[in-house]
Amino acid sequence: SPDLNPIEHLWDVLWRRTMIRRPTTREALIRILPQEWLAIPQETTRSLIRRMCGRKQVLF
């Protein structure tokens, strides 16, 4: 289930952060993606993992 995979949600966070900056060229997108990836707060990742663990307990 995609809900059990935190990376899917993390890609969504990355995409939203990137689109806010409105890259207009491929080069701009390539430059922005790593910047935004590194700027995602570690707490965001922790939160996604905690939610995944909670969903796993509900399913099993």
Return per-residue pLDDT of the chain as tens, 60 residues: 556 678 889 999 999 999 999 999 999 999 999 999 999 999 999 998 888 766 555 554
Residue 18 is predicted with a pLDDT of: 97
Please name which of 12, 1, 3, 2 lies closest in space to residue 44, comparing C-alpha atoms.
12
- Integer CA distances (angstroms), 21 to 2, 11, 46, 54, 57, in order: 27, 16, 24, 33, 37
The conformation of residue 25, written as its DSSP 8-state character, comes to S
Tell me the torsion sign for CA atoms 52, 54, 58, 60: positive
- Its pTM stands at 0.76
